[in-house]
Amino acid sequence: MAADEASRVPAWLEPMLAKADGGRLRSGPEWAYEYKLDGYRAAMRIAPDGTTVLTSRNNIDFTAEFADLAGVLAPALDGQAAYLDGEVVVYGDDGRIDFERMQERRGRWVRHQSGPKGLEFTDVPVRFLAFDLLRLGDRSLLALPYDERRRLLAELPMPDPYRISVVRAVTFDELAADRRTPADFLAHAGAAGYEGVVAKLRSSAYFPGQRPDSWLKHPLIRTQEVIVCGWRPGQRSFTGTLGGLLLGAHDPGSGDLVYLGDVGTGFSQAGRADLMKQLQAIERRTPPFATPPPREDTGRAHWVEPRLVGEIVYRQFTRGGRVRHTAWRGLRQDKDPAEVLAPRAGPAEPAPAPPPPEPSGQRITVQAGNRRLTLSNLDKVLYPAAGFTKGEVINYYSRVAAVLLPHLAGRPVTFIRYPNGVDGQKWFEKNVPKGAPDWLRTVRLAGSGGTIDYPLLDDLPGLVWAANMAALELHVPQWTVESGARRPPDRLVFDLDPGPGTTIVDCCRVAERLHDVLVADGLRPYAKTSGSKGMQLYCGIRTDDPAAPSAYAKRLAQRLARETPESVTAVMAKAQRTGRVFIDWSQNNPAKTTVAPYSLRGRDHPTASTPVTWEEVRACRHVTHLTFTADEVLDRIDDHGDLLAGVTEVVALPG
């Protein structure tokens, strides 16, 4: 073989792409299933002499950046050329693929290209996960069925599994033989941290550059490539840095650059600073869109040339052409702005639909703290408007447990369960349901209709068990139990409920007034949103009289109502609430409960009751300023910790 032939790598091919499955995971013996990976799509092209080139999905040369992977497979090919399709990934400390860590590594690589050469990234190793084989030796495999290509791929020895391996694939028949279903495989993918599942037709050839019906992706999260078109400076704790990005993409029909919305969460502190530098270098005076975006969306905007491509996670794409409930994932230097297309609203890619009633086989066993729990139907959509699944609910409660559990400890919990999602029937549940695990702590208390066995959620296993029952909302009283008996109240609460014609903005104005009165009385008030329309104020108190908190709260509510009867009422009658904020002092009655901090709410989207700072209360001028989804709450905890932690410090209730 001539030297030039020996070093000639196979010609690059535009990769075959997967089409969205519309929320219906395909099932049947004609299908095989692979994990949907969260890295950089790449081709590994190997010449007979072992020369290796790594190429992105749009033909950018990755070889130098991922030098660890060059030549890794050559010893196993015995002088044959090969072309592998796959994904370059990075793993986090928890053993899961970590896209954010990959983005950080890539940012370092890009920055250091203008510095000393030869820099290695041995602290962030990469791995190539192969899922298809397009050429072996002189033979093109494109026309072979998927099953045959996978067989040949699986037969290749993997000399270094830390640097290259084959993505797991399983057929419908193999799942059935294990008494499992594709839904079980999806649940396992979710529990293991994968993006989702790709169903592949076993008889299908490989079609370069096409997106046929033979590869269908079922994502557990929705991602979207976007063009960065502008930015807003940060406010409050982010003053002086990047606050959010204004996003665009090309209309699939006209090709025009259109406005998609914005993203303000998901940035690390270093990421904000790095983006600011890049954006300031490409600023322009006017928005780059074919049609200017709405004026209300462009306040404080700085516009930039549409050169940078990024990726976001989102929950909804509206018919008005906006991405909703977004989080930033990072820049994509491997993507060209010209190929970034806006998603389509409506039937082109609907939100995943809830699956049919759960067969007994759709179960997965996980470790939660010191307990093993069996979870079921993780891909069941509980928030249809947002595509938010039961698996995501469980994930949220697991991640928020460290700050939530102290607010539940020792307090009997009342559940509001939504077994068929927020659009279905709900019910309140105080008694521990049949089938509850025997290790679950409970307390028996007298109620108006007899005794009630309440659950006590004071550890992670109990919280995960409740989430698996679709107990989206958790409500607790202002007192705890000890040795099976009620203790005196240790929290004072004011529930601010906006009447017709008012919003949480009006509640904030009332909250500011209450704050000043409570501080003057020697109390320390804390604020949180209800996760629905209103908000609550809490104070840690010490009292021996269970009736005293209600009496004190009622006096203050009536005082504010007298002072401003046009905007505040202390009367529960709905006829009195129009245009006013109702200060519900009765939540302090020992028989009443209030939604727990960090609890989800049964609304269209997975909003949560969220502790907020008094600076945020005073600055609130729009409903969206104090509306937080589950993902945003988790980001806030990373930034602020538990803003309600101090409520455990009690002071004597004023007389």
Give the per-residue pLDDT at 361: 35
What CATH number has the domain bearing residue 454?
3.90.920.10
Q: State whether residue 180 is helix, strand or coil.
A: coil
> Residue 465: how many CA atoms within 13 Å on its side-chain side?
23
Query: Does residue 485 fall inside a structural domain?
Result: no
pLDDT tens sequence across 129-145: 999 999 999 999 999 99
Give the per-residue pLDDT at 124: 85
Same domain, 540 and 609: yes
- Measured distance CA(473)–CA(454) in Å, rounded: 15
DSSP state at residue 159: S
- Measured distance CA(395)–CA(386) in Å, rounded: 16
The domain boundary residue, chosen from 348, 374, 396: 348
Count of residues making up the chain: 655
Give the per-residue pLDDT at 359: 36
What CATH number has the domain bearing residue 593?
3.30.70.3300
Residue 29 structure tokens: 């013996």
Give the per-residue pLDDT at 406: 94
Same domain, 82 and 211: yes
Give the per-residue pLDDT at 343: 83
The domain boundary residue, chosen from 324, 348, 372: 348
Query: Does residue 118 fall inside a structural domain?
Result: yes
| Phi, psi angle pair for 394, to nearest 5° | -65, -40
| Phi, psi angle pair for 132, to nearest 5° | -155, 155
Residues with Cβ within 8 Å of 603's Cβ and at least 6 positions away in sequence, in order, are 422, 531, 532
Burial 50-82 (b: 16+ CB within 10 A, else e): bbbbbbbbeeeebbebbebbbebbbeebeebbb
DSSP state at residue 408: H
**What is the Cα 120 distance to its own chain's centre?**
32
The domain boundary residue, chosen from 321, 348, 375: 348
DSSP string, 566-614: TTEE----GGGTTTSEEEEGGGGSTT--EEPTT-B-SSSS-BB--EE-H
Same domain, 70 and 108: yes
Query: Does residue 484 fall inside a structural domain?
Result: no
Give the per-residue pLDDT at 357: 34
Q: Which residues of the chain have pLDDT under 50?
A: 346-361
Tally of domains in the chain: 4
Same domain, 344 and 443: no
- Measured distance CA(512)–CA(278) in Å, rounded: 40
Q: Give the CA angle between residues 482, 487, 490 to the nearest 5°.
A: 120
Q: Is 179 left (phi over 0), alpha (psi -120 to 50) or beta?
A: left
Same domain, 419 and 305: no
Residue type, 386: A
Are the beta carbons of 403 and 409 closer than 8 angstroms? no
Q: Measuring CA to CA, which residue among 167, 157, 80, 97 is closest to residue 132?
A: 167
Same domain, 116 and 160: yes
Same domain, 92 and 226: no
Query: Does residue 619 fall inside a structural domain?
Result: yes
Same domain, 404 and 456: yes
DSSP string, 293-349: PPGGG-TT-EEE-TT-EEEEEESEE-TTS-EES-EEEEE-TTS-GGG-B----GGGS
**Bridge-partner residues for 83, per DSSP?**
45, 135
Whole-angstrom distance between the N-terminal and C-terminal Cα of the chain?
Answer: 97
Same domain, 390 and 271: no
Residue 323 structure tokens: 């991405």
Residue 501 structure tokens: 């014609």
User: Which uninterrupted H or E stretch holds 54?
Assistant: strand 52-56
Are the beta carbons of 485 and 600 closer than 8 angstroms? no
- Measured distance CA(445)–CA(431) in Å, rounded: 10
- Measured distance CA(262)–CA(322) in Å, rounded: 9
- Measured distance CA(354)–CA(20) in Å, rounded: 16
Query: Does residue 415 fall inside a structural domain?
Result: yes
- Measured distance CA(133)–CA(83) in Å, rounded: 6
Same domain, 19 and 137: yes
Largest CA distance in the chain: 97
Query: Does residue 358 fall inside a structural domain?
Result: no
pTM of this structure: 0.51
What CATH number has the domain bearing residue 196?
3.30.470.30
Q: Measuring CA to CA, which residue among 269, 279, 349, 366 is closest to residue 315?
A: 349
Give the per-residue pLDDT at 265: 77
Q: Sort strands 164-166 and 127-136 into parallel, antiparallel or unpaired.
A: parallel
Same domain, 195 and 265: no
| Phi, psi angle pair for 573, to nearest 5° | -55, 130
Query: Does residue 150 fall inside a structural domain?
Result: yes
Residues with Cβ within 8 Å of 162's Cβ and at least 6 positions away in sequence, in order, are 125, 127
Q: Give the CA angle between residues 268, 224, 296 to the nearest 5°.
A: 75
Q: State whether residue 85 is helix, strand or coil.
A: strand
Average of per-residue pLDDT values in the chain? 88
Structural domain span for residue 413: 363-476
Same domain, 204 and 227: no
Give the per-residue pLDDT at 354: 31
What CATH number has the domain bearing residue 339?
2.40.50.140
Give the per-residue pLDDT at 345: 53
Query: Does residue 198 fall inside a structural domain?
Result: yes
